[in-house]
Structure 1
Amino acid sequence: MNLRRLRSFVALAEELHFTRAAAKLFVAQQSLSKQIAELEAELGTVLLQRTSRKVELTPAGEVFLAAAREVLARFDQGVAETRRIGQGERPTLRVGFIVGAALELTTLIPGEFANRHPDARVELHEFGFADPSAGLAGVTTDVAFIRLPSSTYSLVVTPLFTEPCVAGVSTAHPMSSRERVRVADLLDEPIAIGRTDDSIWRDFWTLADYRGGQRVRNLVETHSQSEEVEVIAAGMACGITPAAARRYSPHPGVRFITIDDHPGSVVAVAHRSNQLNPLVASFVDAAKAVRDREPGILLTIQGAPKAG
């Protein structure tokens, strides 16, 4: 098995058309067909179903596509990093994060890392709800601040703290006058949720575990945290959100109410298990060091939330 066969398969799987895939790879269609046939022979299974009208991935092909993309992405990343270092460029660490990152610890952790590695360069990359892995799944970041629960794939996860959850409701909603609610009070409400394919993430923020296998009756999908707040303020839905929304996303039309019986969300620093960048371990150590020396900040984050 070689990289050429993997690239040939990925191109064909993305195009699902031999002529277009061959043109994309700048090879003859006959050569592409040979590469795919040799790959299937080596694996001992059919990856693509071919008919005179279309090409489709088999279930085995779907699995292998994900693996092939990951292998190629990591190989290309390693080549690029090797070239940068060989040409004398500063070593670079790509840090991903989603909304809120590590809250009040966010600026302290890169600062601690910079003290340990003054010659390293840190790139910060923000990701929306669509990618709770903050770039780790797509191999576009080396390390990331993520929220759990979510699909962690083959990630190594180091929890930093657990944050309570609150319900965001419009100030015009009947529940807005309450100091506290229970999950049962929210199950018949429309729920706003960031659009994502991560089912574990989605289930947690839509209270799926409390619904007895029933789906949310009215789900309002949003593309960003600011959009979600506006949807809630307009009375279109309620939202289940981290308690930090009170500090980071105040809105005159939204009130955040304590949920008594929903578990908190864990903020963690994570990386892939076979990470190539040697700076990752040091970044994780820096994150743990900051967490351990800032008990006051953790108490603020983890303390019993006040009514908003």
Structure 2
Amino acid sequence: MELRHLRYFVAVAEEGSLTLAAERRLHTAQPSLSRQIRDLEYEVGVPLLSRSVRGVELTEAGRAFLEHARLALGQVQAATEAARRAARPAKATFVLGFLTGYEVDWLAGAMCVLRDVLPDVDVTISSQTSPDLAAALMQGTVDAAFMRHEPDLPDLAFVLLTRDPLVVILPSDHRLVSRETVRLQDLTEDPFIIVSRTAPTLRLVIDEVLARSGVGITPAHEVDNLSMAMSLVSSTRGVSLLPAYARNFLPWSVVSRPLTMDGEPPGIDLVLGYRKEHAPELLRLFLSRVDDLIVRATRPT
């Protein structure tokens, strides 16, 4: 008994006709197909099909045999696919994480670098909060991430990409929009909207900026994301401090102005994070091109 006998039998059983099976499914001559079925029945030792002028019908033995024939053919197909997969090397993957929002400025450059050094690798993008990206790096589900320098994570390494200045977010008809820059002293009369501790590194930077200024600003609202911040600025007539990348998402009702203070301008670092002990060749190649990545993302347009 050969596999072709099983395929022929299944085709005839499903078509209910030797002629149709020969023409539609098997592309062979009907007499040849009839002979193959007779050979199969001879080997099995019982009739599998009942022939009449109306076509063919399965006998009780044929119905029992059909179930196992289909199973055997399915197993052969599965074995074939398994062998082919084993013969092909698995395609490498690289998971790149982004603090949500930074894709606008950094994704295009990152993809150019990845295509240069990893042309045959499947790249997956993951957008999350910075603490979630840190956890994903630790778990090995993300290979490298554009994120904040999260503290107390000795197993992670960080490469500085850029320093993002803080800007003041205002309603578009605010009394200060005519100014080129804004001081914190100018904002004491407005409801202040601050990011929550779901962004702990950014919250720490803003808290330090407020403390250093000596200006009596008490947050009126906390927000978990950029969208919520923009909405509250617009709806409460409030103000906020956010990293400059937030300007990519300003609606018409909200504007930004640079923040001025005495001393070093306040800002927050954007870093490329990765796990120290997780350094496969793909990651090393990507890290070797970080300087190119910075040039691509920060050069004037």
Fold conserved (TM > 0.5)? yes
Gaps of 5+ in 2: 1-84
Relative distance call for 1:137 and 1:220 in structure 2 (3 A) is farther
What does residue 200 of structure 1 align with?
201
Q: TM-score, normalised on structure 1?
A: 0.58
For the residues of structure 2 that align with 1:85 and 1:250, how far apart are their CA atoms?
A: 50
- Give the 3-state SS of the residue equivalent to 1:94 in structure 2: strand
Shift in CA distance, 169/273, structure 1 to aligned 2, threshold 3 Å: same
1:210-289 equivalences in 2 (<5 Å) = 210=212, 217-235=218-236, 237-246=238-247, 248-261=248-261, 262-289=265-292
Higher helix share: 2
Q: Provide Cα deviations, 1:66-88, integer angstroms capped at 9, x if missing partner.
A: xxxxxxxxxxxxxxxxxx99983
Instruction: Spell out, residue by residue over 1:260-285, the C-alpha distance to the aligned partner (whole angstroms, 9 max, x if none).
Output: 22422222211122225432222222
Q: Helix, strand or coil: the match of 1:176? A: coil
Q: Between 278-287 and 216-225, report the one with greater CA deviation.
A: 216-225
2:298 is matched by which residue type in structure 1?
L
Preserved contact between residue 191 and residue 236 of structure 2 (Cα < 8 Å): no
Give the alignment of 1:116-265 within 5 angstroms.
116-128=117-129, 131=132, 133=134, 135-136=136-137, 139-148=140-149, 150-151=150-151, 153-154=153-154, 155-186=156-187, 189-197=190-198, 199-206=200-207, 207-210=209-212, 217-235=218-236, 237-246=238-247, 248-261=248-261, 262-265=265-268
| Alpha-carbon distance in structure 1 between the residues aligned to 2:174 and 2:188 | 15
Does the 8 Å CA contact 2:130/2:199 hold for their aligned counterparts? no
- What is the CA-CA distance between 1:110 and the residue it aligns to? 2.0
Give the share of equivalent positions with the same residue, in percent.
Answer: 21
1:114 aligns with 2:115: yes
Q: Quick check: 1:162–1:264 contact (8 Å CA) kept in 2?
A: yes
Structure 1 or 2, whichever has the larger Rg, is: 2
| C-alpha RMSD over aligned residues | 3.3
Per-residue Cα deviation, 1:21-59 (whole angstroms, up to 9, x for no partner): xxxxxxxxxxxxxxxxxxxxxxxxxxxxxxxxxxxxxxx
1:88 and 1:188 map into 2 onto residues whose CA distance is 64
Output the CA distance in 1 between the equivalents of 2:137 and 2:178: 41
Q: CA deviation at 1:167?
A: 0.4
Contact 1:93–1:277 (Cα < 8 Å) also in 2: no
Kept in 2: contact 1:132–1:147 (CA 8 A): no
Tell me the amino acid that sits aligned with residue 125 of structure 2. L
Contact 1:134 1:145 in 2 (8 A): no
Structure 2 residue aligned with 1:52: none
Q: Deviations over 1:112-160 (max 9, x none)?
A: 2122112211110001366464833554312100135x43622211112
SS of alignment partner, residue 153 of structure 2? coil
Partner residue of 2:77? Answer: none
Q: 1:234 and 1:105 mapped to 2: Cα distance?
A: 31
- In structure 2, the CA distance between the partners of 1:130 and 1:274, relative to structure 1 (3 Å rule), is closer
CA 1:222–1:132: 2 relative to 1, 3 Å: farther
TM-superposed CA distance for 1:256, in Å, is 0.5
Partner of 1:304: none
TM value normalised by structure 2: 0.59
Q: Secondary structure at the match of 2:273?
A: strand
Q: Comparing 234-243 with 189-198, which one deviates more in the overlay?
A: 189-198
Moved more, 139-148 or 124-133: 124-133
Q: Secondary structure at the match of 1:151?
A: coil
Task: Return 5+ residue gaps in structure 1 as ranges.
Answer: 1-83, 302-308
Give the match for residue 41 of structure 2. none
The 1:128–1:117 alpha-carbon spacing in structure 2 relative to 1, beyond 3 Å, is same
Matched position secondary structure for 1:173: coil
Distance 1:193 1:89 in 2: 46
